[in-house]
């Protein structure tokens, strides 16, 4: 979690497993694409940095964050992946829509993690402002996409243990 005390992109590379034999699916929301594309860049670069081959990274786009759960389920059922990362960005507005979307995606990803024997990694930004999102998509607080990729690699290693 990004706070003033912890940058999303801070990690000890010695604790990150090598992913050269692994396949990672990424589902990315097209909504708030100026943010989500930066998250995708962080995730892909990090996966490659730790050995995941470019042709072993499978990327699917969905229209919005609420559709991330279905996109992840689709990847789990139709692609032989070792983990799925979901990337999206919901920025709070004037209506309760923010709460419904965030809760729906959170519950959906939790359900997928309890249903499938493949980790699904939560890379959804839930911010109050665009500025907060930018800070977490390669800004001063790092990149949630990087954090999600590190988490995916560690969870794959745990799953294969």
Query: How many CB atoms within 10 Å of residue 5?
Result: 6
Instruction: Report the distance separating Cα 122 and Cα 90, nearest Å.
Output: 13
Strand order in the sheet with 57-62: 57-62, 24-29, 83-91, 120-127
Active-site choice (97, 103, 115, 140): 97
Look up 97 and say whether it is catalytic. yes
Instruction: Report the distance separating Cα 40 and Cα 106, nearest Å.
Output: 19
Q: Mapped to the 3 state alphabet, what secondary structure does 133-157 carry?
A: HHHCEEECCEEHHHHHHHHHHHHHH
Q: How far is CA 155 from CA 48, 65, 117, in A?
A: 16, 23, 11
Output the DSSP codes for 32-65: THHHHHHHHHHHHHHHHHTT--GGGEEEEEESSG
Active site residues: 97
């Amino acid at each position: 979690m990004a706070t003033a005390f912890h940058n999303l992109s801070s990690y000890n590379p010695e604790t990150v497993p090598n992913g050269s034999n692994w396949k990672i699916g990424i589902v990315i929301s097209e909504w708030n694409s100026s943010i989500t594309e930066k998250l995708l860049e962080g995730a892909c670069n990090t996966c490659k940095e730790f050995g995941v081959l470019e042709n072993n990274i499978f990327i699917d786009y969905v229209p919005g964050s609420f559709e991330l759960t279905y996109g992840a389920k689709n990847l789990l059922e139709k692609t032989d992946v070792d983990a799925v990362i979901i990337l999206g960005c919901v920025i709070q507005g004037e209506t309760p829509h923010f709460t419904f979307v965030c809760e729906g995606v959170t519950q959906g990803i939790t359900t997928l993690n309890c249903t499938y024997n493949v980790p699904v990694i939560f890379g959804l930004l839930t911010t109050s402002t665009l500025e907060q999102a930018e800070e977490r998509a390669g800004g001063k607080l790092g990149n949630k996409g990087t954090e999600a990729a590190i988490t995916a690699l560690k969870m794959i290693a745990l799953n294969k243990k």
